[in-house]
Chain A
Amino acid sequence: MENPHAERQAVLLQRIVRSADKCTELMLELNHCVEEILRANAEVKTAADLASKYRKNVLYNLEATRDAEQGAERSL
């Protein structure tokens, strides 16, 4: 008496498996897209880091030179 259930369930299982495979492929494609985006973001991030780093260095340099100038002024 389980045959009708088994059949129905088998059909459903087949569909499930098919859907799962399709989903897996989609997920992989999604991963690729996300990776590309991440790479792009990383590049942007590095550019931002460069700029911020540069700014910090400039500020530090200004501070250093300002102190040096002040020191020189005082000595003079």
Chain B
Amino acid sequence: MVQNERKLNPIPPNPPRWEPTADPTVIHVSGLDTSAPVNDQIEQLEQLITLKLQNVDANFSKMQQIMSNRLLPAFKRFAVATEPVREAAKFWTSFHEQAAQVRLPTYGEPDEVPPEEQPQEEEAADTTLRKHDHSAATQSVHLPVDFDANVTPSESSFMPAQFAISSTPATVSRYHRSQGTQLALESKESEFSFSGSIESPLVRLDRDIRNFSSDDPSAQSSLHPVAEDASVRFNYAEEETIHASVYYTSPDKGKSRERSLREDVLRTTVSPLRARGKPRTPILAERNPYLPEGIHPRDWSGIVDLRDPKATTPRHDRSYASRQTPSSTPHKINVKDDDDDDDDDDNLYPPGMSPPVMVPFKAVAALNIGRSPRKLAAARIGNDLVRTSRLPQRPPHLVNESSLSSAPTPPSISYWKHNESAASSAADSTLESLLRRVRSMGQPETAPSPSSSSVSSALPAQNPLPSYYTPNRGVSNPTPPPQESYQPAMQPSVHSAPVFGLPVPEAGPVTPQPYTYDQDYQQYDFDDQNPDDSLDSLDDEINDTARPSAAFLLASANRGAIDDDDSFDSSASSDADVSLDAPVHPFARGAIASNNDSFDEDSYEEEELLHHVGETGTVEETVFGLPPAQRAARESEVIGPDGRLRMYGEQAMDDGKPGLPMESPTPYGSGDMSNFRR
């Protein structure tokens, strides 16, 4: 390459640019024969123009050839050749991170991994802890000079020069932001920063966020590295073994705007010791994988050009992947490190470093203190949430659920919290009565008709069913109705209450949930609608709200049968859009007097439930029965707009949507979205 460079001729300087002037006499053209007649001069000018264009064309083509034949291949060869260097750097950064990580949870206690490193760093940290000036004096003196000498402003703009040094999360993120680090986008972010290793995952997340979002021009970054070096340096030693809390005390420099945001995030972060048990990762806007580089998350137009393959590549996945496998580097110093690191990674480096913005699923599932299977409920909840999030549209009348389904977890959580808070409400009676009813129904299935009739009679009397399915009319209040419905369930059995509170509203058709789901759902449905029903037997089963599903099923089935006639008529007259309504409370007959769409669902479901109960013999306590979406979907599936039963799959045909019909008859394990292709 150097030889080629020598052969190149020096580029002749461009002739002085022609300044446009109104006076033609002033214009001077070098090659023009001014003595010739005007037409000849014109001819000469034209020829000169043509020649100039030819030169331009030749230059362009030459440029193109050189670039394609030499430059690009050279760059690519260089990149390929330096890959080992990259790997080594990556390894060492991960090595340092792991070394810091090990110490991190113990807050400076020596760890077995890099022992020689720990005590030294600890002591260094201890001595320099909160003695910024002291360390700064010693360190800042050298580093800025070194870095300035080695790094040109343009390079520093690209490279987070003080990446490893800026132990202070604030500094690091500030630096990132100022630099508009595109580099930070890569997986290396989390690894090469020693401070990053010290930082809690939340800090790293924050940094990544800034990297994603910050696209400040490199010009800005060039200014900051020098200024930040000092602050960065002295923090480095401190941070290696410093408490996570120490971050926040570090001096702040750089952009106050970023700093405040970062600090706020950091303050809310969970300390490494506390960061046990997988925190969930909220999908922050900054982590938008489709966020084009250089665009602030807030400025994202929301339009993703899928034609560009890069746009579809989740950028943060690599960071996650790299973070998850820091020990996968070719060089492994200690096997122990890997093991420890894995544990640490799980605890400290989960992709979701920041504290869960939303209540983690585990907590939600844990609410169901009853005998319901946590995993099953959690899985169901997750499926519901996924379903709701994937639902393309929400019927307008299901706004109450829309608020819930818009964000997977919050809705259920909000339900849950509301239920908890509204412990004492008039719904108690409804729930108890419902339970009693269920119990009575369950025991001898002789009483179903009377109970069901009473139930059915009570249903219409009951008003706007405080269940999911608020009368689709424009949705009155999104949350109150569902909360009310859940409240009753809360009362009698604290254990099962949370279960009731969890029903995830679903705007559209939902794959049928396990039958146990329905049972609970039905239970709480009863509460809302039949306060007068007396189910004394249920009182004893307060803790087994999910149990009396058999009775429930039967009763609901009977009720459904009774109400079918009404429901048909009403459903026929009801809004046609009910077919796609969000899950309707299975027993929300009272409220749905106007649209008794759920009746058939109930009967349909209950039959299945009964069937299932017969199979297993024990009703699996679950959160609740079919979510309203399922019920509505199922109902819509069963009953067409004209009120008559429709054939299976007709809805799919009517809607013109590809895929299977809304729901498959099999309630089992349809939690997967395979059937749900809307």
Contact = CB atoms under 8 A, between A and B. Distances in A.
Interface in A16-34: 16, 19-20, 22-23, 26-27, 29-30, 33-34
Interface in B101-132: 117, 120-121, 123-124, 127-128
B67 to A, nearest CB: 4
A45 B124 contact: no
A53 B138 CA distance: 12
Nearest to B63: A23
Interface in B358-382: none
Given A15-B57, A49-B163, A56 B50 contact: no
B164 A46 contact: yes
Nearest to B76: A33
A33 B72 contact: yes
Given A5-B47, A15-B57, A61 B79 contact: no
Contacts of B60: 15-16, 19-20, 22-23
Contacts, number: 175
Contacts of B160: 42, 45-46
Contact of B183 (A8, A39, A50, A60): A39
Nearest to A15: B57
A27 to B, nearest CB: 7
B124 A40 contact: no
A5 B47 CA distance: 7
Nearest to B150: A45
B130 to A, nearest CB: 15
Contact of A57 (B120, B162, B181): B120
B53 interface: yes
A37 to B, nearest CB: 5
Main secondary structure of the interface of A (DSSP, over half): helix
A26 B72 contact: yes
A58 B64 contact: no
B290 interface: no
Contact of B139 (A22, A27, A38, A60): A60
Contact of B165 (A2, A37, A53, A61): A53
B58 to A, nearest CB: 9
B161 interface: yes
Contacts of B192: 42-43, 46-47, 50
A40 B159 contact: no
Interface residues of A, number: 47
A62 B127 CA distance: 11
Nearest to A46: B192
B622 interface: no
A5 B68 CA distance: 32
A61 B123 contact: yes
A57 B188 contact: no
Main secondary structure of the interface of B (DSSP, over half): helix
B54 interface: yes
B186 A30 contact: no
A45 B151 CA distance: 10
Contacts of B139: 56, 60
A57 B236 contact: yes
A31 B138 CA distance: 39
B163 A45 contact: yes
Contacts of A37: 75, 78-79, 82
Interface string A51-70: 11110111011101100000
Contact of B86 (A44, A49, A51): A44
Interface string B196-234: 000000000000000000000000000000000000010
Interface stretch (B89-97, B335-343, B445-453, B658-666): B89-97
Most chain-B Cβ atoms within 10 A of its Cβ — which of A26, A47, A61? A47
Nearest to B97: A50
Contacts of A46: 89, 93, 160, 163-164, 188, 192-193
A57 B63 contact: no
Interface in B25-65: 39, 42-43, 46-47, 49-50, 53-54, 56-57, 60-61, 63-64
A47 B67 contact: no
A9 B128 CA distance: 72
A56 B142 contact: yes
A57 B240 contact: yes
A36 to B, nearest CB: 6
A39 B165 contact: no
Contacts of B155: 38, 41
B90 A47 contact: yes
B53 A12 contact: yes
B88 interface: yes
A60 B237 contact: yes
A13 B56 CA distance: 9
B61 A5 contact: no
B338 to A, nearest CB: 19
B534 interface: no
A9 B56 CA distance: 11
Given A44-B85, A56-B142, A58-B120, A49 B90 contact: no
B56 A30 contact: no
B552 interface: no
B159 A23 contact: no
A29 B158 CA distance: 17
B121 A57 contact: yes
Given A33-B76, A56-B139, A42 B120 contact: no
Nearest to A44: B89
Given A5-B49, A39-B186, A26 B64 contact: yes
Contacts of B46: 2, 5, 9
Contacts of A43: 86, 89-90, 93, 183, 186, 188, 192
A2 to B, nearest CB: 6
A27 B67 contact: yes
B43 to A, nearest CB: 8
17 contacts: A8-B50, A9-B53, A16-B56, A16-B57, A37-B82, A38-B155, A41-B82, A42-B158, A46-B93, A46-B188, A47-B89, A49-B165, A50-B164, A52-B143, A53-B236, A58-B124, A60-B138
Given A12-B50, A16-B56, 6 more contacts: A23-B63, A42-B188, A46-B160, A49-B163, A51-B92, A53-B164
**Across chains A and B, which 9 residue pairs bring their CB atoms closest together, nearest first?**
A46-B192, A19-B60, A5-B46, A47-B89, A12-B53, A49-B164, A42-B159, A33-B75, A50-B164
Interface of A: 1-2, 5, 8-9, 12-13, 15-16, 19-20, 22-23, 26-27, 29-30, 33-54, 56-58, 60-62, 64-65
